[in-house]
């Protein structure tokens, strides 16, 4: 699998030492530039001057649900969500790649508990899947308009060090790609496993809205201990 170099963004006139990282995964058919405008909006605030944002690009692959059309994807999708068959090999390949990005940040001197995984839709599924299995403590998970893949494997694969890692799940009530019901089932499963899930609903479809972006910033403030007052 071929991966392009991720997009990296930080405060433009940065005289502060980076001490936290956010790895933010895009959705199906997009690329790392998809969330660049939102990250740049955050970076207008100097109090984000110690945070590095890493926006990786998914590899291109044929997507079965889209008639085999080749597009950026974190894993193959065989039908509508929920599906009876999941691309376990593809999901785990993306997990390994994101693990590499986390390890790269640790090698740069960032503590694992100062690294947060974020993602939208398919990227959010990989963020959830990866974070709950990562062997070192992470800062949190931002799961936007998404669901938990391979949920039947979680109990035997989960890393206990991230059992208390805060999770923000945000979803649109009019989402016709990943329904609110499906996302809520993932939320319930996580809560039943004693994960700390902060659940938010918005009057939107499969997208983001202004209030959600405000809530994301508040979540980043909380889990990365940023003073945004």
Which residues are known catalytic residues? Answer: 121, 175, 206
With CA atoms as reference, report the closest residue to 178 among 214, 213, 155, 206. Answer: 206
- Coil vs helix vs strand at 72: strand
Rounded CA Rg of the chain: 16
| Bridge partner residues of 96 (DSSP) | none
Contacts of 153-161 with CB under 8 Å at 24 or more apart are 154/189, 154/193, 155/193, 157/133, 158/132, 158/133, 158/193, 159/132, 159/133, 159/134, 159/135, 161/134, 161/135, 161/136, 161/137
Q: Six-digit token pair at 209?
A: 């809205």
Q: What are phi and psi of 193, to 5 degrees?
A: -90, 10
């Amino acid at each position: 699998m071929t991966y392009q170099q991720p997009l990296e963004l930080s405060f433009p006139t940065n005289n502060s030492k980076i001490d936290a990282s956010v790895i933010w995964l895009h959705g199906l058919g997009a690329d790392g530039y998809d969330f660049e405008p939102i990250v740049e909006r955050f970076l207008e605030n100097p109090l984000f001057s110690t945070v590095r944002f890493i926006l990786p690009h998914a590899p291109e692959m044929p997507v079965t649900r889209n008639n085999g059309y080749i597009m950026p994807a974190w894993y193959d999708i065989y039908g509508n969500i929920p599906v009876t068959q999941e691309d376990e090999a593809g999901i785990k390949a993306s997990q390994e790649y994101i693990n590499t990005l986390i390890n790269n940040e640790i090698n740069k001197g960032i503590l694992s508990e100062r690294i947060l995984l974020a993602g939208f839709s398919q990227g959010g599924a990989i963020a959830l899947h990866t974070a709950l299995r990562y062997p070192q403590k992470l800062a949190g998970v931002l799961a936007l308009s998404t669901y938990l893949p391979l949920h039947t494997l979680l109990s035997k694969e989960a890393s206990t060090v991230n059992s208390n890692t805060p999770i923000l799940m945000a979803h649109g009530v009019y989402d016709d790609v990943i329904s609110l019901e499906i996302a809520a089932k993932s939320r319930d499963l996580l809560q039943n496993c004693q994960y700390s899930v902060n659940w938010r609903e918005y009057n939107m479809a499969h997208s983001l809205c202004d209030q959600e972006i405000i809530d994301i910033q508040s979540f980043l403030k909380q889990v990365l201990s940023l003073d945004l007052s």
